[in-house]
Amino acid sequence: MSKLKAMLIFGTRPEAIKMAPVVKECLSRPDELETIVCLTGQHREMLQQVTDYFDIQADIDLKLMSPNQTLAGLTARCIQGLDEVLEQHKPDCVVAQGDTTTVMASSLVAFYRRIPLVHVEAGLRTGNMLAPWPEEMNRRVTGLIASLHCAPTERSAANLLSERVDPDTVHVTGNTVIDALLWAVDRERANDVQWREKYASLRDHRMVLITGHRRENFGQGFNDICESIRQLSERYPRVEFVYPVHLNPNVQGPVHDILGKCTNVHLVAPAPYPEFVWLMDRSAIILTDSGGVQEEAPTLKKPILVMRETTERPEAMDAGAVELVGTSIERIVGRVSALLDDPVEYAHHQIEKNPYGDGLAAQRIVDLMLKQEWQK
């Protein structure tokens, strides 16, 4: 049997983190797989940080990012660039992850070329096309096209089956983000001295880690998030609030305007992946609108308050680790305060088993790729 020629495509930092274990697993099987790594460059510096950390060498880099890019412009460049790449390399399958513009464009181009698509982290749904936006649309398009759906959980698989996806193409694999996290957290705990020196200003105080950058929160919702943090910083002067601030001007503006003078709010540059893993591990509470953090933090037994009205990742919420607080000042301040003040309430948000995975997802995904009929 000839080798399976697989092209793995990704373009953002979250995709790179979740695809890194799959890339590593593919490269560990050179007798069975010819692996081609293609970057779209939807993100630039943030993507490079992750590929360097995991020692991933790109075979193709489209470098599509441009200043002030629109979604339509990015999508058009992505489709055109990927179509040329598939024409040149003619892979047996395309592997893409998640819900970005890159994965949506990859799925369309693979469909046009009649090349099977493997969707890593398939089946997540909120049921609301505008939240998260545009990710919900991206993942639904990909769900229509994929030939192999690697669902992280049983609920994600059930979402696909309810949409009449062929059951033979749907498999529960766990989420590769846990594979990456377990590898990274061991490495960064060994580098603890380096990070404690960098964050010496935290002293031995409790720390709340904050991430916030979702488009649907821009405007009043984002102003309210920042005002909530300001009020919390005043209420808890011996708690440190660390906020790696996204580079988007819609984030930078209100964050610095509202929080810039708060002495126990540390506004730092976007943290490279290893540093962010250490910050998650060091934190007491995580306040976020990120999808990936909802999956990672339960492994570290951290309570997660999600500043969104819906989540496509309900499993950790059902398990008790995650709670939706939206962008309401009253709700955010109230729930963070409860977790800081009440040890019993805090303990209720720490769970023993992460519903998103056990660290073996990439192995299962590659095993499935090699068993497909289109591989023969």
Are residues 11 and 102 in contact, defined by beta-carbon separation less than 8 angstroms?
Answer: yes
Catalytic-labelled residue, pool 215, 266, 331, 348: 215
Catalytic-labelled residue, pool 125, 155, 213, 308: 213
Catalytic-labelled residue, pool 246, 266, 331, 348: 246
* Spatial distance between the Cα atoms of 125 and 330, rounded to a whole number of angstroms: 28
Question: Is 135 designated active site?
Answer: yes
Give the dihedral sign, CA 291/292/295/296.
Answer: negative
Q: What angle do CA 202, 208, 212 make, to 5 degrees?
A: 120
Task: From residue 69, give the alpha-carbon distance in Å to each of 245, 248, 290.
Answer: 20, 12, 21
What does residue 367 show for φ and ψ, rounded to 5 degrees? -55, -45
- What residues are paired with 88 via a beta bridge? none
Catalytic-labelled residue, pool 15, 92, 135, 296: 135
Sheet (strand 4-10) strand order = 60-61, 33-39, 4-10, 93-97, 117-120, 148-151, 170-172
What does residue 307 show for φ and ψ, rounded to 5 degrees? -90, 60
Question: Is 213 designated active site?
Answer: yes
Catalytic-labelled residue, pool 15, 25, 121, 312: 121
Catalytic-labelled residue, pool 15, 92, 99, 224: 99
Task: From residue 369, give the alpha-carbon distance in Å to each of 6, 35, 117.
Answer: 9, 12, 10
Q: Quote the radius of gyration of the chain (alpha carbons, Å).
A: 20
Question: Is 99 designated active site?
Answer: yes
Question: Is 89 designated active site?
Answer: no
The CA-to-CA distance between both ends of the chain, in Å, stands at: 7
Catalytic residues: 99, 121, 135, 213, 215, 246
